[in-house]
A and B are shown apart, each in its own frame.
Chain A
Amino acid sequence: MPRRVMAVVGILIVAVSILALIGRNRRAAKVDPCFQDGLRPIRVLYLARRQSPKRKANGGGCASCEAQNTDQWNALYRVFGGREGIEFIVILPKGAAFPGGRALRCDVSIIGSDHGEEDKVVICERGVKRLEHAGVMDMAFIRKAYAILAEIQENPSKTSHF
């Protein structure tokens, strides 16, 4: 009897562990604009991309705006990537691909199954959104993002690894 009980308990423990692992992975896959885990620095840039290209309503742009943003994303990486404490994370809808096979530079890619419909950049500090920008990126936005990151870096007491 005790052997059977132990076997059942063992199976239950294994089953619960598996379920817990699945649950954690599901939570990780769910796109959270201030996603964090205990191993990552707290200053991060998140980029998200549209699930399907849309023509801008005002007609002033072009259908390939998303391809245009690839240059901007890579420019952001050139400015911010490799700096201590800053991690460059790209969140893509499942199955997303960049036109023409151009690679996006990033440190980590997270594939999410549900996300907003616009190209989006988010800067987070300790789980709090400091800056969010949707749509086509320009130098004016890159300067704003830089100013926020510089401000965060000037206040080291607010920032630390955990």
Chain B
Amino acid sequence: MRKVVWRIVFALLLFWPRGSSAELKKVVSIGSNDLNYLFVSINDVAIGDSGAVFVLDSGGFCLKKFDAQGAFVKEVGRQGQGPGDFSNMLADICIDKDIYVHDVGNRRIMRIDQGLEVKGTLRIGRSGRYLARLGDCFYMIAPRAEGTFPEIVRFDEQGTVKSVFFEDRPAFMKGAPPPRGPDWAMWMMYADLVMAVDRDSQEVAVTFRYPGPDNEILLYDKDGRFLRRIKFRHPIAYDFPVFRLKFRAGFPGRSQFISFGSGHFIAPHRLLLEYWIEDYESDHAVGQQNYLLVLDTASGLIVHREQLDPGIRVLYARGDLVCARQEDGDISKVIIYRLII
């Protein structure tokens, strides 16, 4: 009897899950070749207060609404420049009480309520990406008027720029002036940023899309004042492969490449990051590992790490819901997962 008990205890010790156990459970899948569920090119997703799902289809020039169970409700938009029209350069959407569609081609932000009625437009003088909203201000990653490195632009509902911030640059670009010629385009690309806003703490988190030897998250208040920097190491020994900064990069036999896909605040001080590790043989990607990291921006600690299918691209996350784009054969889908940490 004693032997049986010890065998049971040993088995439990061996197989008991270690660390934080978590689950990514599929909740809803939206997408098919049925017209109402057809997506030509999914750009962005947001979830409304009632659980409604809003999908920005830049290829279809439309914004579609589905209920929390994934049933089609309504669609708005067509190609053009008039009210309710979209250009073929739609960047992204952000949501609070209303939905704000960032239409780069028409140089405007369109405000649409959650019933998909167009409420107004805001002309913007600068192009950019990663539209976000805190209070009554918008934030956007935008190229500087002169120079290589991007900055964060904060502007009000009249389109007036209130502040610009973020002067930093990746570690592998410090101490050297940007090159001229074709290499400059590579510097521009690898200086890219990822941004997320925390509506609860009213903070803006910015990181370099292509990190150096450490991952760095820089936190700012809503006015753009620097608050603090968080650093955390990669799970592998890594530094940015600087040969990529050359337009005609000479790839070695094998290399690795790390990048952040996106960032989203899912709870106060809880930043969810898409973290990708790619393996290269010469200039061909031969393997990829995708992770979801949850960083506590108050303590600076990673509180959760989960490996994902490489085909999943996270577009939006809030609370315990993660919205991703996935290709199922030739059908583009929006999949909503519940992340239980």
Cα(A146)–Cα(B36), bound, Å: 11
Q: Which residue of A lies closest to B81 (CB)?
A: A60
Cα(A61)–Cα(B90), bound, Å: 11
Cα(A100)–Cα(B38), bound, Å: 24
Q: Is A139 an interface residue (CB 8 A)?
A: yes
Binary flags per residue of B37-63, CB closer than 8 Å to A gives 1, else 0: 010110000000000000001011110
Q: How far is the CB of A44 from chain B (nearest CB, A)?
A: 19
Binary flags per residue of A9-52, CB closer than 8 Å to B gives 1, else 0: 00000000000000000000000000000000000000000000
Q: How far is the CB of A87 from chain B (nearest CB, A)?
A: 17
Q: Is the CB of A78 within 8 A of B38?
A: yes
Q: Is the CB of A79 within 8 A of B35?
A: yes
Q: What chain A residues lie within 8 Å of B75 (beta carbons)?
A: 139
Q: Is A117 an interface residue (CB 8 A)?
A: no
Q: What chain A residues lie within 8 Å of B77 (beta carbons)?
A: 138-140
Using A61-B87, A75-B60, A137-B79 as known contacts, list a sample of 8 further A-B pairs with CB atoms less than 8 Å apart, ordered by residue number in A.
A58-B81, A60-B106, A68-B88, A74-B330, A78-B33, A139-B61, A140-B61, A142-B35
Cα(A68)–Cα(B106), bound, Å: 16
Could you say which interface size class chain A belongs to?
20 to 34
Residue tally, chain B, CB below 8 Å to A: 23
Q: What chain A residues lie within 8 Å of B57 (beta carbons)?
A: 139
The 7 closest A-B pairs by CB, nearest first: A139-B60, A138-B61, A140-B78, A138-B79, A71-B59, A75-B40, A139-B62
Cα(A139)–Cα(B85), bound, Å: 12
Q: How far is the CB of A102 from chain B (nearest CB, A)?
A: 12
Q: Is B83 an interface residue (CB 8 A)?
A: no
Q: Is A8 an interface residue (CB 8 A)?
A: no
Q: What chain B residues lie within 8 Å of A72 (beta carbons)?
A: 40, 59-60
Q: Is B105 an interface residue (CB 8 A)?
A: yes
Binary flags per residue of B81-113, CB closer than 8 Å to A gives 1, else 0: 100001111000000000000000110000000
- 26 CB-based A-B contacts, threshold 8 Å: A60-B87, A61-B88, A61-B89, A61-B105, A62-B105, A71-B40, A72-B59, A75-B38, A75-B40, A75-B59, A78-B38, A78-B331, A79-B33, A79-B35, A136-B88, A138-B62, A138-B77, A138-B78, A138-B86, A139-B40, A139-B57, A139-B60, A139-B75, A139-B77, A140-B77, A142-B35
Q: Is A65 an interface residue (CB 8 A)?
A: yes
Q: Is the CB of B105 within 8 A of A60?
A: yes
If the complex has contacts A68-B88, A72-B40, are A136 and B79 also in contact, measured as CB distance less than 8 A? yes
Q: Is the CB of B38 within 8 A of A142?
A: yes
Binary flags per residue of B297-317, CB closer than 8 Å to A gives 1, else 0: 000000000000000000000
Q: Is A158 an interface residue (CB 8 A)?
A: no
If the complex has contacts A58-B81, A60-B87, A71-B40, are A78 and B35 also in contact, measured as CB distance less than 8 A? no
Q: What chain B residues lie within 8 Å of A75 (beta carbons)?
A: 38, 40, 59-60
Q: How far is the CB of A23 from chain B (nearest CB, A)?
A: 40
Q: Is the CB of A143 within 8 A of B35?
A: yes
Binary flags per residue of A65-101, CB closer than 8 Å to B gives 1, else 0: 1001001101100110000000000000000000000
